[in-house]
Amino acid sequence: MNKKMFAWIVWAVVLIGIFFVASAISLSVGTVNFSPRELISVITQQDDETLHAIVTQMRLPRILLGLAVGGGLSLVGVLLQGMFRNPLVEPYTLGISGGACLGVCLSIVLRANRVFGFLALPVAGFLGAGLVIWFLYNLSIRKGILQIKGVLLSGVMISYITSSLIMLIMAVSHTEDLHGIVMWTMGSLAATNWGLVKLVFFVSILGLILSHFFCISLNAFSLGEEHATHLGINVERTKKLIFLVTSLLTGFFVAIAGIIGFVGLVVPHFMRLLVGQDHRILIISSFLAGGAFLIFCDMCARTVIAPLELPVGVITGILGGSLFLYALARKYKEL
């Protein structure tokens, strides 16, 4: 076993350990706190149905959702940053989140939940994201070639347009609708429907598997598209596939959990500093670190001003932005 492979295994074990520690703390901390022994007793013995329900029906789904959404957004960040060769690109740069958010806002205002139940918001969000994906793709494709710069610029403009439409909807909405829109746009892992949680987790793992098919291509992309072509990479097909996969994943996660910023930007950036540029380790390490980071942020959101709960997007913005500024300050100091 060479040194690089050994280092990758060590990092994977460390990140898995961090994930389990974050999960255990999140299960233990809240309006009702548990010691490690009490937590094991509540899960295994089920003597108190109320405490058992708190752990298994309220906190455990949030942990699985945190792993799926946090890991998934980090995956998208790695893929997009590799494709654009720009470490500042994140999942929400393409404007897909704006489309999902607009769809959800319309769903709330039109009371779609009365017809479709708890699926109303996710379905509306995914339809809104899908519409933006279709529009963005057709706007950026020229003679079968996906224009990377065109995708980025169009995505930024779409974000501005959808943000303006969302503000328009908020300006004419009733108070109860306005509160629902604001809380959803700030992000939440409060979806405790097990069917929905299992679906999100399945999609996240599927995204992880698909992402590994792009490892070699993304490593070649770091040398430039011309060099990647000389290395035998079908550049245009790879760009289209990455665009499709990242767009669908972003739209799906935003539709489920709302807008949770900075995870897809900060986590891949820090993982590159720790494990290096090779996407064979960067993808899995970013997935694990993103899941652990979002689980920790969700725990903070539940406990900082308990019994009130903060939107998790607020915590990721504060922590993620602070960490990113710290990393930039250290980098400039070393220059």
- For residue 79, CA distances in Å to 119, 212, 303 come to 28, 10, 33
List per-residue pLDDT tens for the chain, 335 residues long: 678 888 888 988 999 999 999 998 998 888 788 887 877 887 777 667 777 788 888 888 899 999 999 999 999 999 988 888 887 788 777 788 888 888 888 888 887 777 766 677 778 878 888 888 888 888 888 777 777 777 888 888 888 888 898 888 888 877 777 777 777 777 788 766 788 888 889 999 999 999 999 998 888 888 887 888 888 888 888 888 888 888 888 888 888 888 888 888 889 988 988 888 888 899 999 999 999 999 999 999 888 887 778 888 888 888 888 887 877 777 666 55
Residues comprising the chain, all counted: 335
How far is 221 from 257, CA to CA, in rounded Å? 31
Start-to-end CA distance of the chain, whole Å, equals 35
Residue 304 contacts by C-beta under 8 Å, 6 or more apart in sequence?
Answer: 310, 315
pLDDT for res 206? 93
Question: Which DSSP string corresponds to 155-168?
Answer: HHHHHHHHHHHHHH
Of 93, 112, 104, which Cα lies nearest the Cα of 152? Answer: 93
How far is 241 from 264, CA to CA, in rounded Å? 19
What's the pLDDT tens digit per position in 243-284? 888 888 888 888 888 888 888 888 998 898 888 888 889 999
What's the pLDDT tens digit per position in 53-70? 888 888 888 999 999 999
How far is 78 from 90, CA to CA, in rounded Å? 8
Q: Which CATH architecture has domain 3-334?
A: Orthogonal Bundle (1.10)
pLDDT for res 88? 78
Which sequence spans correspond to the domains of the chain?
A: 3-334
22 touches 295 (CB < 8 A): yes
Question: Which DSSP string corresponds to 242-255?
Answer: HHHHHHHHHHHHHH
What's the pLDDT tens digit per position in 174-183? 777 777 777 7
Give, for 28, the enclosing helix (H) or strand (E). Answer: helix 3-28
Phi and psi (nearest 5°) for 112?
Answer: -65, -20
Task: Kindly report whether the global pTM for this prediction surpasses the value 0.75.
Answer: yes
What's the pLDDT tens digit per position in 159-170? 888 889 888 888
